[in-house]
Amino acid sequence: VSKGNFKLIGGRACYASDTSYVELSDTGGKIINSQLSFSNPVVRGTQNYSIVYGLSSNGFLINDAQKTKHKGTTKKPIFTADVNNNGDYCIVTEGSGYLSVLIAYSKDNEKKYEYSFADYYITCVSINDSGTGAVCCGVTTVNGAEHSKVYVLDFTSEKPVREYEFSESV
């Protein structure tokens, strides 16, 4: 278990290894014990929900404080993902014809938004509490220099509502 894969979900300890996601009760018993086959598992979570995904693989789990709510797969490898306190979630994958693609889902696993990034690899995403938008950070190189960009997305808009770019020299 990597040091970053321990979280508190609903006040309970949980962790992910390359073979399982486990959530413990107050007495140390296992509430959730889901098998995984992620070589590089990542756990992100809130007070009520967690998302476990395989970095650079295609599988993910959505969990609440009592059970695994959804097991899913993506067509392309996952770069990053996030879940909010209501169970809405975003997954960023490699894109077809794009560097990255973000797809946002409702807590009922219905796709509600998609945005493709042509110029930046997205390395981090955070979905807002209302599930109506997200902030994404991406990286790229220009003439050998590293550049970063922050995108503010509103899920009702086709384009980012704000973009902030940072170069290596800043």
- Residue 3, classed as helix, strand or coil, is helix
Scored b (16 or more CB within 10 A) or e, 30-63 reads ebbeeebebeebbbbbbebbbbbbbeebebbbbb
Backbone angles phi, psi at 37, to 5 degrees: -135, 45
Nearest alpha carbon to residue 66 among 34, 109, 94, 103 = 34
Task: Check: pTM over 0.85? Answer yes or no.
Answer: yes
pLDDT band at 6 (very low <50, low <70, confident <90, very high): confident
Mean per-residue pLDDT for 66-87? 94
pLDDT 10s digits, 95-147: 999 999 999 999 999 999 999 999 999 999 999 999 999 999 999 988 888 99
DSSP for 102-163? EEEE-TT--EEEEEEESS-EEEEEEE-TTSSEEEEEEEEEETTEEEEEEEEEETT-SS-SEE
Residue with tokens 């809130």: 46
Cα separation of 160 and 61, whole Å? Answer: 27
Cα separation of 58 and 34, whole Å? Answer: 16
Within 8 A by CB and 6+ apart from 82, the residues are 44, 51, 89, 90, 125, 126, 127, 134
Strands (DSSP E) found in 10-48 = 12-16, 20-24, 30-35, 41-45
Lowest mean pLDDT of 4-13, 38-47, 107-116, name the range.
4-13
